[in-house]
Amino acid sequence: MIASLRGIVAVVRDSSVIIEVGGVGILAHCTPDTARTVRIGEPVTLHTTLVVREDSLTLYGFSDADQRDVFEAVQTVSGVGPRIALAALSTLTPDDLRRAVSRGDTARLTTVPGIGRKGAERLILELRDRLAPPAADSGVSAEGWRDDVRSGLESLGWSAREADAALSAVEPLAREQGAPDVAALLKAALQTLDRG
């Protein structure tokens, strides 16, 4: 596995860069944001992941390790490959993606090219426990969790009445937590609805 790449920027395109390392030009696919951060002729370090296929070796580069880690996590979802994972990070920041997953926000996830409603639901179900909570959500207020969980349930297709019943069921759990964990509360709320 090639975990990082350091060299001089030789070529910059919208979704790829060529880095010269020891006289060899190495192509790394990247998000437009990463491409905008590099300059031809300047040194750069990219955090990378190598995708190996039967007929190809494709390197993906990111300006920070968090983007790379989220890119790899998104690919663990069934039916999602590197093209859609890169599109996700080209459309959403890692924290935007975490927030959409933790809140069950299918509308936000379907803004990514190649992800429809079913794909968004699969991302939410399969990534909820694999992605750390977004940095900005680390201090959810004692009552703010209710709106986030309700929004998540309704975006997954539950009615307002069903969402309210699930909120009542998980309220004791929310009170036990010092700082409410929205992802855990949403998961618990979904389990109460699945039993019904």
Residues 35-44: what's their mean pLDDT?
Answer: 94
Q: Pick from 50, 76, 45: which is nearest to 62 by CA?
A: 45
Does residue 46 register a pLDDT over 80? yes
The reply to whether 145 falls in a domain is yes
- pLDDT at 83 (0 to 100): 95
Coil/strand/helix, residue 55: coil
Question: Per-residue confidence at 142, pLDDT binned at 50, 70, 90?
Answer: low
Q: Are residues 49 and 74 in the same domain?
A: no
pLDDT at site 139: 46
Residues 6+ apart with CB under 8 A from 111: 91, 92
The dihedral through the CA atoms of 106, 112, 117, 119 has a sign that is negative
**Which CATH number do you get for residue 11?**
2.40.50.140
Tokens 């069950």 belong to 104
- Each residue's pLDDT tens digit, 50-66: 999 999 999 999 999 99
Assigned domain for 45 exists: yes
In a domain, 132, yes or no: no
- 169 and 121 housed in the same domain: no
133 falls within a domain: no
Q: Which of 42, 62, 82 is the last residue of a domain?
A: 62
Query: Is pLDDT above 90 for 40?
Result: yes
Residue 30: pLDDT band (50, 70, 90) is very high
Can you spell out the DSSP letters for 82-106?
HHHHHHHHHHS-HHHHHHHHHHT-H
Mean model confidence pLDDT for the chain? 87
Instruction: Evaluate whether residue 123 is within a structural domain.
Output: yes
> In this structure, what token pair is assigned to residue 7?
């060299």
Task: Specify the higher pLDDT residue, 94 or 196.
Answer: 94
Q: How many domains does the chain have?
A: 3
Q: What is the pLDDT of residue 138?
A: 47
Do 71 and 57 lie in one domain? The reply is no
- Examine residue 184 and state whether it is found in any structural domain, yes or no: yes
CATH number for the domain that contains residue 97: 1.10.150.20
Domain contains 43? yes
Give the global pTM.
Answer: 0.68
Tell me, yes or no, whether 72 and 121 share the same domain: yes
Tell me the C-alpha distance between 40 and 66, whole Å. Answer: 24
Confidence (pLDDT) at 195: 55
| 16 vs 144, higher pLDDT | 16
- Do 46 and 10 have their domain in common? yes
57 and 96 part of one domain: no
Domain residue limits at 21 = 4-62
Question: Are 93 and 49 contained in the same domain?
Answer: no
Domain end position, chosen among 45, 62, 79: 62
Quick one: 113 and 167 in the same domain? no
Do 23 and 75 sit in the same domain of this protein?
Answer: no
The reply to whether 69 and 123 lie within a common domain is: yes
Using alpha carbons, list the distances in angstroms from residue 124 to 1, 115, 119, 129: 28, 12, 9, 9
